[in-house]
């Protein structure tokens, strides 16, 4: 990644998936700018970013605010002229939307806001990014299996992630002729602020560990490694892909009985 420059959106704290990715990219020589949302987040993101670069470019950007989105990419252009990569690790749904019955609890506002922040924002960022991206650049977003299968309480976020994955394919088709690749990483559950917003989190982590092929929870370092592959020339010719990094959980049709016993705390 030496000589490559790009934007990482979605670092909230040291547990953020975006932070694991940023550290890996930086270790491989990349220059990284970060977005954050508001002053309270700046207080958390700045000290982290400064561990990678003594004078990091930090940009205040709520993805629902067009002016801030414009200003973010203008600032990148002013500083670097061109960029080589974009990491989009942003999602949001109201807590009331992430528990219980999907059919009863999903409101119009809740649905639209989840789609806006968690899916449209990638399209919106990609459009701005491509205008200042070198040909041969690369973009990555983060998704979850709840887009493909029903995960309890994930509800409207599953719908938004399905839209995000479809958007990834359409973006890949539009930007492919310029050699710009667009991919999604479908990560297994990782303990972050965003994950804490989903109901029955403890069950989700226990079940994933017991029922995944590797009998373990997802390591953020594995997600960061996949991002490095996709954002660097290692990933040449890979685009429009949703790549699972979840210990093989997505590949399991029926967990073995012992795994179910372990997940439920029963003696087998």
Contacting residue, 85, 144, 154, 249, with ligand NAP by CB under 6 A: 144
Q: Is 154 considered catalytic here?
A: yes
| Segment near ligand NAP (CB under 6 A); pick from 52-60, 101-109, 169-177, 182-190 | 182-190
| Segment near ligand NAP (CB under 6 A); pick from 46-54, 86-94, 130-138, 230-238 | 86-94
Q: Is 120 considered catalytic here?
A: no
The tokens of 248 are what? Answer: 């093989």
The answer to the question of residue 62 lying near ligand NAP (CB under 6 A) is yes
- 3-state DSSP assignment of residue 186: strand
The answer to the question of residue 183 lying near ligand NAP (CB under 6 A) is no
Contacting residue, 92, 122, 154, 249, with ligand NAP by CB under 6 A: 92
User: Rule CB under 6 A: which of 2-21 touch ligand NAP?
Assistant: 10-12, 16-18
Burial 8-37 (b: 16+ CB within 10 A, else e): bbbbbeebbbbbbbbbbbbeeebbbbbbbb
Task: Give the shortest CB-256-to-ligand NAP separation in angstroms.
Answer: 24
Residues listed for the chain: 268
Beta-carbon contacts of 220 under 8 Å, excluding residues fewer than 6 positions away, are 17, 20, 190
Instruction: State phi, psi for 83 to the nearest 5 degrees.
Output: -125, 165
Task: Give the shortest CB-189-to-ligand NAP separation in angstroms.
Answer: 4
Select 12 or 180, whichever has its Cβ closest to ligand NAP.
12
Q: With contact defined as beta carbons under 8 Å apart, do 98 and 197 qualify? A: yes
Q: Which residues are paired to 8 by β-bridges?
A: 34, 87
Burial 39-62 (b: 16+ CB within 10 A, else e): eebbebbeebbeebeeebbbbbbb
Select 122 or 133, whichever has its Cβ closest to ligand NAP.
122
Contacting residue, 112, 150, 173, 193, with ligand NAP by CB under 6 A: 193
∠ CA 197-199-202, rounded to 5°: 100
Site string for ligand NAP, 104-133 (x = CB under 6 A): -------------x----------------
Select 63 or 163, whichever has its Cβ closest to ligand NAP.
63
Burial of 156 (0-12, 13-18, 19+ CB in 10 A): buried
> Which residues are designated catalytic?
144, 154
Contacts to ligand NAP by CB under 6 A: 10-12, 16-18, 37, 41, 62-64, 89-92, 117, 142-144, 187, 189-190, 192-195
């Amino acid at each position: 990644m030496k000589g490559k420059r790009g934007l990482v959106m979605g670092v909230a704290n040291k547990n953020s998936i975006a932070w694991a990715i940023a550290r890996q990219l930086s270790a491989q020589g990349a220059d990284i700018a970060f977005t954050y949302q508001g002053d309270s987040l700046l207080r958390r993101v700045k000290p982290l970013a400064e561990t990678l670069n003594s004078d990091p470019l930090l940009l205040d950007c709520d993805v629902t605010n067009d002016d801030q989105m414009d200003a973010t990419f203008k600032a990148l252009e002013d500083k670097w002229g061109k960029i080589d990569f974009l990491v989009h690790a942003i999602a949001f749904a109201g807590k009331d939307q992430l528990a219980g019955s999907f059919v009863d609890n999903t409101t119009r506002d809740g649905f639209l806001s989840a789609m806006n922040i968690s899916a449209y924002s990638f399209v919106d960022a990609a459009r701005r990014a491509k205008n200042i991206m070198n040909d041969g650049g690369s973009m990555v977003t983060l998704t979850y299996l709840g887009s493909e299968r029903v995960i309890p309480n994930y509800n409207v976020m599953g719908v938004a992630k399905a839209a995000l994955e479809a958007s990834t394919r359409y973006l890949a088709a539009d930007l492919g002729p310029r050699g710009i690749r667009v991919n999604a990483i479908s990560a297994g559950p990782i303990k972050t602020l965003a994950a804490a917003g989903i109901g029955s989190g403890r069950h989700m982590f226990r079940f994933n560990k017991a029922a995944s092929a590797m009998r373990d929870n997802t390591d953020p370092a594995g997600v960061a490694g996949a991002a490095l592959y996709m954002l660097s020339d290692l990933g040449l010719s890979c685009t429009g892909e949703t790549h699972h990094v979840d210990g093989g959980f997505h590949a399991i049709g029926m967990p073995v009985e012992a795994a179910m016993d372990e997940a439920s705390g029963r003696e087998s």
